[in-house]
Chain A
Amino acid sequence: MRKHKGVSYAKWGYIFILPFFIVYILFTLVPQLTTLYYSFFENYRDGLKQIGPNYVGFANFIKLFTPDKTGSIDILKYFGNTIILWVMGAVPQVVIALLLAVFFTSYRLNLKGQQFFKTVIYMPNLIMASAFSMLFFTLFSRVGPVNQLLVSSGMADEVIDFLAIRVSVRSLIALMNFLMWFGNTTILLMAGIQGIDQCLFEAADIDGANSLQVFFKVTLPLLAPILVYTIITAMIGGLQMFDVPQVLTNGKGTPNRSSFTMVMYLNNYLQTSKNYGMAGAVSVVLFIISAGLSAVVYRSLSKSYKN
């Protein structure tokens, strides 16, 4: 009789994950490592002359953080822009999404048509981001309907160039991001609230807590982990903000580069100036920031798996 050896799954396990790893290593891991490698080289085109690639150590990074003639450091400025744009959109987005989520799932209001509202709330996000930006570009251009309306109704004396004023460009980008993403956040938070044990709300109700007390003492503390998690993932997404400002300002980050984001900066090195060493350095900075944020997400994620 043959001796039963048991089935070893090790071989099959490797075979099953192999195709994924080939694709992943070739097109994600290797490029990521090469980016790091290239960031230590000078490699750009000066007119018709190709400079490099020559090894220059940390020169690209030093250059990245050296003030230019006017004394401002580009990367910090663009990082600041990205953060400002993100905060302007994300703060109202989270606050309103939280209020709406509480409102729609309210045990006491027992709102009808919850599913309908949940369906409608996501609508703005269906429009392709670049289409959405084109729409706003048209709406707020010098000859656009908004200006038409303002002038004809006498609210403005002359045409306002919305895309040449810092505050208005930033507000428009924030508004678009808000409109596109608050439905998403609301749906996530609603799922979070519905995951809370309904008994707690009923108990609070019986004990005579008013809605504010229920919100601050029951909903918010129990929702906190999901809320933090939502905010950090939104932040990682916000760091990669690209298509809305790119299309709205035609890639220029007008006025005076005040709506120029990190990824637009990277895109600029890659596509316009073809300075690949610097592009690598910008990538590495982006990578470090997102890796830090991801580590936080991962920790909260593995914590929630344990529970």
Chain B
Amino acid sequence: MAKPEVQKNYSLKDSIYLVELLKGLVLTWKHFIFNIGASFRKGPHTIPTTWQYPEDRRPISPIFRGEHMMMLDETGRELCVGCGMCAKVCPAKCITVDNSKVPEGQEDRYAGKTYSKNFNIDLLRCIFCGFCEEACPKGAIVLGQGYELAAYTHEGCQLGKDRLLENYKKAKASGTLKPALKPVPVAGAAQKAEATSAVPEGASKAKPEVTKKVLKKAEKKAGEGE
């Protein structure tokens, strides 16, 4: 480690200090004037580093993982068949699904032969990983753009079917609706992962549903192994 160089012999200009002080004052004055101008400008987010939250909102990525919603198909039927894959894959175990046969005469409400009678997401447990979205065979559950999830009660943190469907309506109205994100399969990644002993066990057992991230990691590790 090289010692940091400390200037010991100051020139007269430096030791008088007033010149440097004036330079500093000019610098802060420039900032002051710029920000005064910015604060009088109209429109949101005029001061460069601060977002005035309730008024200014940061743009969210289109694949942001926020509040969940339950998707409907083009004819307005629920896509969910109540298979429970989401509940299985959920690492936080926050989803509970009760499935049931679609009753006679209600085929126009549900797309499949079965449907989820009860569907509940406990937001207090949810870690917004998006596994449910990736696991769902019907693309029925999608993580949307909502992130203001504060509530006063435990019940307020439960996403029942009513709230999930309402979120869908809201997303459709605001035009932020997007299809469920699916993992991008990487050619040969799973086989490679199996072939290399350096890969942890969890990754080698990976099934086709395994997430994009795990796959990528496995591939990277495999690449390093070779």
Task: Determine if chain A interacts with chain B.
Answer: no
